Structure 1
Amino acid sequence: MLYLYAKAVHIIFVITWMAGLFYMVRLFIYHTEAKQKPDDEYRILHHQFMVMESKLWWIITTPSMYLAVAAGLTMVFLAPALLGAGWMHVKLTFVLGLVAYHFICQRILYRLRDETSRWTSMRLRVWNELATVLLFAIVFTVVLKSAVNWIYGVLGLLILSAMLMLAVKWYKKIRER
């Protein structure tokens, strides 16, 4: 029964972690685009974005990551046989990628705060899609487990990535009109 509670907590905090990551990069995009405003307007927006980003990062996103990881480790502690499953190794690899993504976002947060970021809004839009690809990879790996045909899985991720990149480029063309 304790395993199921840990699983429920894990799912809840994965959802809040992902929501935080998705919204954080969206704020980064708006923060970056605010640089195109007149200086006095930018100063106001820069301050407001710093407040919003800081609260989202330190109150929701980062605690959610730690709680999701803690609940996941609890599940592995309660059911150590999970570590013997091949799908779990794949999932943990994708999770490590997501944790790396999290800390790269934190570095972007600091650089935007210090006004040293070189990320363009277009590059941030593409960056935002990486979290989507990782989310899809993790969910499909967990749900399908050993039934996954890895060739189709990899091809599916590549197709998803290509579709997301096309959508970003299509959106850019619409915005430029």
Structure 2
Amino acid sequence: MLHLYLKSLHIIGFVSWFAGLFYLVRMFVYHSEANDKPEALQEDWKKQYTVMQWRVYKIICNPAMMITWTCGILMLINSPYFLEQGWMQIKLVFLILLTLYHLYCKGIIKKQETGKDTFTSFQFRLLNELPTLFLVLIVLLAVVKDLLNFVYLFLGVLAFGMTLFFAAKAYRKFREKPND
């Protein structure tokens, strides 16, 4: 029974974590686009986005990540045989990469706060798709487990990533098209 409660909290944690990361990087896009606003508005908008980014990072992303990791580790302590399974080992690698992405986002907040950010809004839009790839990989690994052919998984996620990239490029072209 303990395992089911931990699993429930783990799922709640990772759903919240991903929601926070998606929203956070979307704000990076808006922060970057504030440079396109009239100069009188730019500074106020950037300050407001920075406040919002820190709140999302500290109030949503960090606690959700900690809940996800804590409950996941407790489940592994409760059922250590999962660590011997290949899908779990790969899932843990992706979770470590996702955590590094999370920390990288903190660095972006600091750069935007000091005006040293060099990314374009389009690059942030692409960066915002990265957690989607992590989400797909991690969920497929957790649900399908050993039945999954990892080569097909990799190729499928690669194709999905390419689709996201081309969709983002098409959207950028659509947004930049002059209104007739």
Q: Give the alignment's TM-score, normalised by structure 2.
A: 0.96
How far apart are the structure 2 equivalents of 1:105 and 1:66? 16
Can you list the C-alpha shifts for 1:56-110, whole angstroms capped at 9, x where unaligned? 1111111111111001001001111110111100100111110111011110011
Cross-structure match for 1:125 = 125
Percent same amino acid at aligned positions?
A: 39
Cross-structure match for 1:140 = 140
Cross-structure match for 1:66 = 66
Which residue identity does 2:147 align to in structure 1? A
Cross-structure match for 1:36 = 36
1:21-170 equivalence runs, <5 A:
21-170=21-170
> Is 1:11 equivalent to 2:11 in the alignment?
yes
How far apart are the structure 1 equivalents of 2:41 and 2:2? 52
Secondary structure of 1:116 counterpart: coil
- Cα displacement (A) at 1:151: 1.5
Which residue identity does 1:34 align to in structure 2? A
Unaligned 5+ runs, structure 1: none
How far apart are the structure 1 equivalents of 2:74 and 2:150? 27
How far apart are the structure 2 equivalents of 1:45 and 1:154? 40
List, as ranges, runs of 4+ consecutive aligned residues in structure 1 with deviation greater than 4 Å.
Answer: none
How far apart are the structure 1 equivalents of 2:137 and 2:121? 25
Q: CA RMSD in A?
A: 0.7
How far apart are the structure 1 equivalents of 2:39 and 2:57? 26
How far apart are the structure 1 equivalents of 2:151 and 2:58? 38
Secondary structure of 2:117 counterpart: coil
- Cα displacement (A) at 1:39: 2.2
- Cα displacement (A) at 1:37: 1.6
Q: Give the alignment's TM-score, normalised by structure 1.
A: 0.98
Can you list the C-alpha shifts for 1:137-163, whole angstroms capped at 9, x where unaligned? 000011110001111111101110110
Unaligned 5+ runs, structure 2: none
Secondary structure of 1:166 counterpart: helix
Task: Count matched residues.
Answer: 177
Which residue identity does 1:109 align to in structure 2? I
How far apart are the structure 1 equivalents of 2:51 and 2:151? 44
- Cα displacement (A) at 1:38: 2.2
Instruction: Judge which range, 33-42 or 15-24, deviates more.
Output: 33-42
Which residue identity does 2:140 align to in structure 1? F
